[in-house]
Homo-oligomer: A and B are copies of this chain.
Amino acid sequence: MKKLKVPMGELALIEQIRRGSRRNSPTVPLGIGDDCAILRPPAGREVLVTTDFTLENRHFRRDLHPAESVGHRTLARGLSDLAAMGASPLAAFLSLALPGKMLATKSGQAWVERFFLGLRALGDQYSVPLAGGDTAESPADLILADIILVGTAPLGKSLRRSGAKAGDALYCTGRLGGAAAELAGMFAKGRMARVGATEGHPHLFPEPRIGVGAALLRRGLATGCLDISDGLSTDLTHLCVESGVNAEIDAATVPIHPLAAKLGPEAGLKMALHGGEDYELLFAAPATRKMPRSIAGVEITRIGRLTRRQQRQPQIALVNADGSRRPLEAAGWEHFSAPPARKS
């Protein structure tokens, strides 16, 4: 990690970022400006670390996504991984490569400022300081970001993907398919999205479920948990692989986001099952355990159950209201295999 470095004349902008980000505290006694940042996790807690790329033309498009949304989404991806394990965020680190031309133009500088506005607004909401990172000139005319989140959880209590059991009930938070539906609408319009507030924009401004994850951990409610970043079908497959179980989803119970429901029942369900980037949580709990209808203000829906697995590969069945069933293939977001239409 190095100090943020920029060409002569642009130091003002980066110094502003640095000042805005440097709030040394008992848990982050040293932030940006040395070879490493120093963190002091509270005693009795384990440390969780996650890294996530946000790459232009892969995770966002400069012509469609407002810069504030890119900053928000960059941080949200990492926060959601902490939420999935029930962890509390401690600090964020950002590696950011910008095209050389960008900091030489007013519009480029404005983009970077707005990116940090979006990132910092979400960071402030969860009291996550930007404690360091790296900057470089991008080797292409593309913005490249990598976010690193460090969090903590009580020793040995972090929620994992591997603890779910056959017989457990399956739950999700919030409503699904909204991010895919909003993104599809953005592609259809083909121009920069305009947003007044962050609410109601599941793709542009997803809300990481930090409060829910922390409550699940604190109250010992979940046997296994992860976030729905790649789509329910894909992430449920991850849960089944790591926990050694199969799963059944009751189609009629899947909570479909209004933006997806507007597209009709079939398209809406498809987006809820396979659309990625909702950043809701998917978790399992003993079927006999009473589950609140909402946790930390977020609705909780029972959407199915885990079953015993005999085969090597996990199988997931979609069960209709009439009892008929069909296999559900993992068909969510998959890097290296996403069709061009999904490259956002």
A173 on interface, CB distance cutoff 8 Å: no
Contact A87–B36 (Cβ < 8 Å): yes
A144 on interface, CB distance cutoff 8 Å: yes
The stretch of A51-59, A63-71, A196-204, A267-275 in contact with B is A51-59
Residues of B within 8 A of A37 (CB): 48-50
Of A52, A53, A151, chain B has the most CB atoms within 10 Å of the CB of A53
Q: Give the contacts of A120-150 with B (CB-CB under 8 A).
A: 131-140, 142, 144, 146, 148-150
Min Cβ gap A13→B in Å is 11
Q: Once bound together, how far apart are the Cα atoms of A100 and B336, in whole Å?
A: 6
A229 on interface, CB distance cutoff 8 Å: yes
Min Cβ gap A85→B in Å is 5
Q: Once bound together, how far apart are the Cα atoms of A57 and B136, in whole Å?
A: 12
Residue ID in chain B nearest A337 by CB atoms: B7
A46 on interface, CB distance cutoff 8 Å: yes
| Contact among B48, B53, B103 for A38, CB-based, below 8 A | B48
Q: Once bound together, how far apart are the Cα atoms of A51 and B146, in whole Å?
A: 9
Residues of B within 8 A of A52 (CB): 1-2, 95, 134
Chain A window 13-28, contacts with chain B (Cβ cutoff 8 Å), 1 for yes, 0 for no? 0000000000000000
Q: Once bound together, how far apart are the Cα atoms of A144 and B56, in whole Å?
A: 13
Residues of B within 8 A of A131 (CB): 49
Question: For this complex, into which size category does the number of interface residues on chain A fall?
Answer: 35 or more
| Contact among B3, B51, B53 for A238, CB-based, below 8 A | B3
Chain A window 96-135, contacts with chain B (Cβ cutoff 8 Å), 1 for yes, 0 for no? 0110100100000000000000000000000000011111
Min Cβ gap A94→B in Å is 8
Contact B161–A34 (Cβ < 8 Å): yes
Contact A50–B140 (Cβ < 8 Å): no
A176 on interface, CB distance cutoff 8 Å: no
Min Cβ gap A106→B in Å is 17
Contact A48–B36 (Cβ < 8 Å): yes
Min Cβ gap A56→B in Å is 6
Residues of B within 8 A of A2 (CB): 52, 229-230
Residue ID in chain B nearest A162 by CB atoms: B34
Q: Given A139-B57, A146-B95, A335-B137, are A51 and B84 also a contact pair (CB < 8 Å)?
A: no
Min Cβ gap A207→B in Å is 17
Number of copies: 2
Q: Once bound together, how far apart are the Cα atoms of A39 and B153, in whole Å?
A: 10
Contact A336–B46 (Cβ < 8 Å): no
Contact B49–A336 (Cβ < 8 Å): no
Q: Once bound together, how far apart are the Cα atoms of A24 and B229, in whole Å?
A: 25
Min Cβ gap A41→B in Å is 6
Residues of B within 8 A of A343 (CB): 139
| Contact among B7, B33, B36, B334 for A242, CB-based, below 8 A | B33
Residues of B within 8 A of A1 (CB): 49-52, 81
Residues of B within 8 A of A85 (CB): 34-36, 38
Q: Which 3 A-B pairs have the closest CB atoms?
A: A1-B50, A35-B84, A36-B48
> Can you identify 11 A-B contacts, CB atoms within 8 angstroms?
A6-B335, A30-B158, A35-B161, A35-B226, A36-B50, A36-B82, A38-B46, A40-B155, A97-B144, A135-B335, A139-B142
